[in-house]
Amino acid sequence: MSKPVSMSIIPTDLDAIEAATGRVSVLVPLEGNLWQEARRVNRLTKGAIERMRAEKGDKAKIGEIVSLAWPAGMAASAVDVVFLPRRCSVEEARKVGAGLGKRRGSDELLLLAGNHPKAAEIAMGIALRDYGFEDHKTAEAAEDARAVTVMASKADEVEAEAAPLLAVAEGVFFTRDLVNEPANVLTTTEFAKRLDDMRSIGLDVEILEEKQLAELKMGALLSVGEGSDSPSKVVVMQWKGGEKDAAPLALIGKGVVFDTGGISLKPAAGMEDMTMDMGGAGVVAGAMRALALRKAAANVIGIVGLVENMPSGNATRPGDVVTSMKGDTIEVINTDAEGRLVLCDIMHYAQERFKPDAMIDLATLTGAVIIALGHENAGVYANDDAFCNAFLNAAAQENEGAWRMPLGKAYADQLKSRIADVKNVGGRPAGSVTAAEFLQRYVAEGTPWIHLDIAGVASVKSETDYAPSGATGWGVMALSRLVSNRYES
């Protein structure tokens, strides 16, 4: 499992700068006097920092990083000069950290943070970008990234601020590992095992097997895994960090470990990307991990439906009618619209069993949301404006793209079935909206609910600000922030 780099946060020792090996990064304000760390680096390099700043004049941008290679007067292999004022946003600070993390590769890094108020956020940025999924690369496996050290005037304060952030980074990494993992490794059984291992960090974990799911009458969820040799499972994770009888927040995740489309088989080109179709469950798992590691003072339930959508002689056919746990009948027009069949049963179960204060489901649900929003924003659907805005604010605070989309009866009407209570697809127009409407049928009156269609953001082909290409971990930070904003303050 990938863990964020272990960071030591130590008190500033100006005399140690000269002999520091690896990369040294130093913060420089756009104007005004240099801070003491930069003054020391400037003196050691015989004025290089001042000359650089003079040359840049007012052209330097907030967050810009300029590197000096093999600086004279220092043992370091490079000095990364970061133009960053004291007053900067969390986003600016994290981007600087991510930029430093990317530059260092696996070199040693010493960040001279001085008394910068966003030192912990810079550290968070370094941690987030310091990720690679190398489990299946035989050559690279041996090389471990070297240490990161942060020197800060008030090391204890920075340490205390960074600890919960780095816990969240570990949750993000857990999600990225799960989402990057190929489907022959991350089977439903292996996925459940990795979740079960989170008992060691204080989560209650229960694994419901097919027999129990059948007793619970989860006919919709079970219909999806019928064609696979991997058994369908539902995993319930509980974090009880809040008041004993406070209603929990429920996080629900689509965990299709591989989506071939089933009998409505997908085309071959690009099908390999469907290893990420458990992205919703991956984010729920990473969020639960983050909450447990930072010992959140809140009650949160995570429920994931783990299934594999395969064609076979046992597979569900287009035209089949299945009965959900709620009791309504669903005509399966297209076996490739399987995510909603998984979610509807676990959403219903979550509400029956836990009477949650609010519920959020996450799923790589539709290609249509990618057509609508690309890879920049997840589609956000909600039945409650206040709850929705709370989430949108949390996502904005964490710089995770999220955009609200509409719901409405006319969309729901696209799901009317000739022979059953509902059908599982509503045609091509507004495909992400009709999927959300399908889910809303399983939200009880009075439960504030958000559906996040993360098909475009869970895994991407080019690197992002905070991650190399592949799984992003999108949503773990926003959910952790939502929990702290809404339940912990």
Just list the catalytic residues: 266, 340
Q: Is 277 in the site for Zn ion (CB under 5 A)?
A: yes
> Is 179 near ligand BES (CB under 6 A)?
no
Tokens of residue 406, six digits: 């509409």
Instruction: Report d(CA 246, CA 59) in Å as an integer.
Output: 53
Output the CA angle 452-458-170, nearest 5 degrees.
Answer: 105
- Residue closer to Zn ion by CB (options 260, 414) is 260
- Which of Zn ion, Mn ion, ligand BES, none lies near 431, with the C-beta cut-off 5 to 8 A by kind? ligand BES
Q: Which of 334, 393, 397, 399 binds ligand BES (CB under 6 A)?
A: 334
x/- mask, Zn ion, residues 219-258, rule CB under 5 A, reads -------------------------------------x--
Tell me if 453 contacts Mn ion by CB under 5 A: no
**Contact between 221 and ligand BES per CB under 6 A:** no
Q: Quick one: which of 24, 52, 110, 337 contacts ligand BES (CB under 6 A)? A: 337
Residues in the chain: 489
Q: In the bound complex, what is the minimum distance in angstroms from residue 275's beta carbon to ligand BES?
A: 10
Tell me which stretch binds ligand BES (CB under 6 A): 16-24, 87-95, 345-353, 359-367: 359-367
Tokens (6 digits) for 339: 């995510």
Q: Does 259 bind ligand BES (CB under 6 A)?
A: yes
Count of residues that bind Mn ion according to CB under 5 A:
3
CA distance 367 to 350: 26
Distance CA 448, CA 451 (A): 10
Task: Name the residue nearer to Zn ion (CB basis): 177 or 277.
Answer: 277
- Smaller CB distance to ligand BES: residue 112 or 337? 337
Q: Does 230 bind ligand BES (CB under 6 A)?
A: no
170 binds Zn ion per the rule CB under 5 A: no
The span from the CA of 470 to the CA of 462, in Å, is 7
Q: With respect to ligand BES, which residue has the nearer C-beta, 171 or 339?
A: 339
Q: Least distance from C-beta 356 to Zn ion, angstroms?
A: 24
| CB nearer ligand BES, residue 339 or residue 448 | 339
Q: Determine the interface stretch with Zn ion among 2-10, 17-25, 133-141, 334-342 (rule: CB under 5 A).
A: 334-342
What's the burial of 102, exposed, middle or buried (CB within 10 Å: 0-12/13-18/19+)? middle
Instruction: Indicate which single residue of 336, 357, 400, 453 sits in contact with Mn ion (rule: CB under 5 A).
Output: 336
Region near Zn ion per CB under 5 A, out of 236-244, 333-341, 387-395, 477-485:
333-341
| Residues 357-386 as x/- pattern, contact with Zn ion by CB under 5 A | ------------------------------
* Per-residue contact string for residues 421-440; x = within reach of ligand BES by CB under 6 A: ----x-----x---------
Determine if 259 is a binding residue for Zn ion (CB under 5 A): yes
> Site map for Zn ion, 337-356, x if CB under 5 A?
--x-----------------
Phi and psi at 254, nearest 5°, equal: -80, 120
Site for Mn ion in 241-270 (CB under 5 A): 259
Residue from 367, 407, 463, 468 touching ligand BES (CB under 6 A): that is: 367
Of 458, 486, 287, 482, whose CA–CA distance to 391 is shortest? 482
Return the range that interacts with ligand BES (CB under 6 A); candidates 58-66, 126-134, 334-342, 465-473. Answer: 334-342
Does residue 121 bind Mn ion (CB under 5 A)?
Answer: no
Per rule CB under 5 A, count of chain residues that contact Zn ion? 4
Residue with smaller CB distance to ligand BES, 178 or 203: 178
Does residue number 79 form part of the binding site for ligand BES (CB under 6 A)?
no
Kindly state whether residue 437 participates in binding Mn ion, applying the rule CB under 5 A: no
**Measured torsion, CA atoms of residues 301, 367, 380, 472, in degrees rounded to the nearest 10:** 60
Query: Tokens representing 61?
Result: 């941008």
CA 280 and chain centroid, separation: 9
Tokens of residue 416, six digits: 């009317």
Interface with Zn ion (CB under 5 A): 256, 259, 277, 339
Interface with ligand BES (CB under 6 A): 259, 277, 334, 336-339, 364-368, 425, 431, 455
Interface with Mn ion (CB under 5 A): 259, 336, 338
